[in-house]
Amino acid sequence: MSAPGKKIILLRPRGFCAGVVRAIDVVKIALNLYGAPIYVRKEIVHNRHVVDELRGLGAIFIEELDEVPTGARVIFSAHGVAPSVRSDARNRNLKVIDATCPLVTKVHLEAVKFARKDYTIILIGHKDHDEVIGTLGEAPESTILVSSPEDVDRLTIKDPERISFITQTTLSLDETSEIVQRLKERFPKIQGPAAQDICYATENRQLAVKAVVPLCQMLLVVGSQNSSNSRRLVEVCQKIGVPAYLIDDLGEVQPQWLDGVDTVAVTAGASAPENLVEDLIESLRQRGYSDLEEMEIKEEDVRFNLPSELARAPQLKTVQIQTSARV
């Protein structure tokens, strides 16, 4: 018999965002159009299960373009690339399909705009993240990376009258707000993007976590360890004082986490497939969490067009492809 009152609160929105759906579909469509192998630079999205599935379909994941045969077809991941990577691809006569998320492209264009105005660009983000590496490459001589208010305090700017900021798209809303506030305090003339760079999916999933924290005793976030937006969901919950854990799948759930927990909340990062959430829910049901409540914070209905390299392919109209599920 299930213990009375043991409940799962399933957050919505969760899981795949429009940029991830687009990136995954790009790989599947390319494989259907052109056949294997298709090379993909870096992980198409930061999720082990997604990468393993696409590898099984014939995608070959590589770290750098020198691993791709000259003249072969390569896909750039959703996180974007630096101009030097695009130049290298042209020099090696590679057939490029660009799956960069349009919201990441927006940040790249902002960097170019500010660099042309001879501004110092402050990029708020996490060092060594694929997205940050790509954005830094747009104007490396003009861009300084900061990750905390303390980094802002250490800044030395050649011309405080000509300074701007942009951000990684998958950051913590609260921590980014603190850094931006410190930048404005130190540099009152600083300019930022017309609209925030943190993407809608990152924001919505963090807001959902904040809303559920008073109602649960623990949060499980489905997502891979190298997924920035997934890690932020855990941090948001922990910062408020409720235990939270990032898991790749149900196999990583430790039984002791559930000791004394009557209400567990569940969500998923923007690159985590819904079937992993479904498997986790079923596992929790078997552990006695028989009451399931879905909590929707905001409806999402965002779609992005395919990259032009695929959209204009004459064979596309004959290709049947199942669009990736999202919630």
CATH number for the domain spanning 161: value is: 3.40.1010.20
Residues 267, 231 share a domain: yes
Confidence of residue 4 (pLDDT cuts 50, 70, 90): low
pLDDT tens profile 26-63: 999 999 999 999 999 999 999 999 999 999 999 999 99
Least confident of 4-8, 72-76, 261-265: 4-8
Residues 213, 148 share a domain: no
CATH number at residue 45: 3.40.50.11270
The pLDDT mean for the chain works out to 95
Residues 26, 96 share a domain: yes
Residues 86, 30 share a domain: yes
Confidence of residue 326 (pLDDT cuts 50, 70, 90): very low
Residue 163: inside a domain, yes or no? Answer: yes
The catalytic residue among 131, 138, 235, 300 is 131
Residues 86, 122 share a domain: no
Give the model's pLDDT for residue 267: 98
Residues 215, 146 share a domain: no
Confidence of residue 314 (pLDDT cuts 50, 70, 90): confident
- pTM of the complete model beyond 0.85: yes
pLDDT tens profile 82-125: 999 999 999 999 999 999 999 999 999 999 999 999 999 999 99
Residues 161, 134 share a domain: yes
Kindly write down the DSSP assignment for every residue of 93-159, as one continuous string.
Answer: T-EEEE---HHHHHHHHHHHHHHHTT-EEEEES-TT-HHHHHHHTTSTTTEEEE-SHHHHHT---S-
Residue 3 has pLDDT above 90, yes or no: no
Give the model's pLDDT for residue 155: 98
Instruction: Supply 185's token pair.
Output: 């305090």
Number of domains in the chain: 3
Residue 323: inside a domain, yes or no? Answer: no
Residue 45: inside a domain, yes or no? Answer: yes
Residue 194: inside a domain, yes or no? Answer: no
pLDDT > 90: percent of the chain: 93
Least confident of 112-121, 291-300, 315-324: 315-324
Confidence of residue 283 (pLDDT cuts 50, 70, 90): very high
pLDDT tens profile 115-174: 999 999 999 999 999 999 999 999 999 999 999 999 999 999 999 999 999 999 999 999
Residue 190 has pLDDT above 90, yes or no: yes
Between CA 306 and CA 316, with CA 312 as vertex, the angle to 5 degrees is 75
The continuous run of DSSP H or E covering 303 comes out as: none
Residue 140: inside a domain, yes or no? Answer: yes
- Taking the C-alpha atoms of residue 272 and residue 301, their distance in angstroms, rounded to an integer, is 18
Residues 95, 113 share a domain: no
Judge if the upstream peptide bond of residue 214 is cis by omega within 30 degrees of 0. Answer: no
Which stretches of the chain are DSSP H helices? 18-34, 48-57, 83-91, 102-116, 130-136, 149-153, 173-186, 200-212, 228-240, 274-286, 308-311
Residues 45, 66 share a domain: yes
pLDDT tens profile 193-204: 999 999 999 999
Residues 115, 182 share a domain: yes
Between CA 61 and CA 318, with CA 315 as vertex, the angle to 5 degrees is 105
Residue 191: inside a domain, yes or no? Answer: no
Residues 71, 111 share a domain: no
Give the model's pLDDT for residue 315: 73
Give the model's pLDDT for residue 312: 80
Domain that holds residue 234: 7-16+200-296
Tell me whether residue 299 is one of the annotated catalytic residues: no
